[in-house]
């Protein structure tokens, strides 16, 4: 087995890994115009193809199966290097001008004609990658259904998988905050996790709900894990999204009880979710975060946004709670209720974990399905 990845990706792997360089200069928007994304992706695809050619001609590497993510253009030209290999792609999300993320939250996204044209232009490399592929997989039904029907037929649903043995409840979990305070399982803790604090993951809604939560629950502490960049949302006009949202709240938020921890080592993140009495997860109609499924595996009570990707996994009152994405008062009330009556929700927490064990377990379910797909030949 061999891997080919970008030169900037220095993550260590037990698999023999080759790396390709990217062009120093990004496409000039004035020249590329609506084709900027396609230019970026085909530039990457060309570098990948040239590296693959060296792997073939200098090292004799002739794969039976190629598996890559269609979102970055890397698989576009590999059939020209290895025409006999079976090409599988990871079909994570297909952009659309209606019904998904674009225009969902009018505070940050409006579907004007220029925006719609840009979205359509970003479909080009995804569609071409899918046409090149022999088969594809997507982690959820909702994400697979974002693809047009002509391409959807190629997609098999196989989640990446959750290690439910490693990610399980721990009633003895505890964590020392930077200020020295020790949090323990059983405390009134609200957790929130996102790669970055930004609108796509509902950070603004969550933060706006907190003043009422903290006023109603004087013992509550809030732990927020996530950096101050932008993964999916456009960046704010100045500063960070966190700064902007805190300025908006104008001192109504007791920051002595709201702990912004940035990005943490994975083990620390797991411990904090194990400690939490309630875990908030919000997302616009977009890619479902691993963190929500991991929180469920850890036995968390997850309150999620009533949006398509979340509703595929969480049924309100069965294995979690759902609140309308924009209902700030509803979020406050749901969080207050969960903090006030933890024993009442024990069945939901158990059902949440069972959902992951039965449908998303890495070793018993997802990995065997992936191997069957790869070996179909």
328/180 same-domain check: yes
Among 147, 144, 142, CA closest to 156: 144
Residue 329 lies in a domain: yes
330: domain CATH number is 3.40.50.2000
**Residue 114 belongs to what domain range?**
2-157
Domain boundary among 157, 182, 213: 157
222/120 same-domain check: no
Residue 246 lies in a domain: yes
* SS3 (DSSP) at 137: strand
152: domain CATH number is 3.40.50
* SS3 (DSSP) at 262: strand
pLDDT of residue 84: 96
What would the pLDDT profile of 275-332 be if each residue is shown by its tens digit?
A: 999 999 999 999 999 999 999 999 999 999 999 999 999 999 999 999 999 999 999 9
Low-confidence ranges of the chain (pLDDT < 70): 29, 377
Domain boundary among 112, 131, 157: 157
Instruction: In whole angstroms, give the CA distance from residue 375 to residue 128.
Output: 24
130/220 same-domain check: no
Number of H helices, E strands in the chain: 15, 14
Among 89, 52, 55, 51, CA closest to 72: 89
134/178 same-domain check: no
pLDDT of residue 230: 82
Give me the number of domains the chain comprises.
Answer: 2
215/290 same-domain check: yes
263/310 same-domain check: yes
81/201 same-domain check: no
182/78 same-domain check: no
334/230 same-domain check: yes
Tell me the pTM. 0.93
76/206 same-domain check: no
Tokens read off for 147: 């693809």
pLDDT of residue 27: 73
115/199 same-domain check: no
């Amino acid at each position: 087995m061999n891997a080919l990845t970008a030169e900037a990706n220095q993550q260590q792997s037990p698999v023999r890994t080759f790396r390709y360089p990217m062009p120093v200069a990004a496409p000039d928007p004035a020249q590329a115009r609506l084709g900027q994304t396609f230019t970026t992706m085909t530039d990457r695809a060309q570098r990948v193809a040239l590296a693959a050619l060296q792997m073939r001609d200098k090292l004799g590497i002739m794969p039976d199966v190629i598996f890559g993510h269609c979102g970055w253009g890397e698989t576009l030209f590999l059939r020209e290097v290895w025409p006999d290999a079976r090409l599988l792609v990871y079909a994570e999300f297909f952009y659309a001008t209606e019904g998904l993320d674009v225009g969902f939250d009018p505070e940050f996204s409006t579907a004007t004609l220029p925006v719609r044209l840009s979205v359509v232009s970003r479909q080009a490399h995804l569609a071409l990658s899918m046409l090149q592929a022999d088969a594809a997989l997507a982690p959820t039904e909702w994400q697979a259904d974002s693809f047009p029907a002509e391409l959807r037929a190629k997609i098999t649903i196989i989640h990446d998988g959750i290690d439910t043995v490693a990610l399980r409840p721990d009633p003895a979990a505890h964590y020392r905050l930077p200020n020295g305070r020790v949090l323990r399982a059983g405390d009134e803790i609200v957790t929130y996790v996102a790669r970055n604090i930004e609108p796509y993951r509902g950070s603004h809604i969550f933060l706006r709900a907190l003043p009422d939560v903290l006023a109603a629950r004087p013992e509550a502490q809030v732990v927020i894990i996530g950096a101050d960049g932008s993964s999916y949302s456009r960046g704010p006009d100045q500063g960070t999204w966190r700064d902007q949202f805190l300025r908006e709240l104008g001192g109504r938020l007791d920051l002595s009880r709201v702990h912004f921890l940035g990005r943490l080592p994975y083990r620390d993140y797991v411990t904090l979710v194990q400690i939490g009495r309630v875990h908030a997860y919000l997302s616009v109609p977009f890619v479902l975060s691993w963190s929500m499924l991991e929180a469920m595996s850890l036995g968390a009570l997850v309150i999620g946004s009533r949006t398509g990707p979340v509703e595929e996994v969480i049924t309100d009152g069965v294995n979690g709670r759902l609140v309308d994405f924009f209902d700030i008062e509803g979020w406050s009330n749901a969080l207050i209720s969960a903090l006030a009556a933890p024993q009442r929700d024990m069945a939901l927490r158990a059902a949440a974990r069972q959902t992951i064990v039965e449908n998303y377990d890495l070793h018993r379910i997802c990995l065997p399905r992936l191997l069957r797909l790869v070996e179909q030949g």
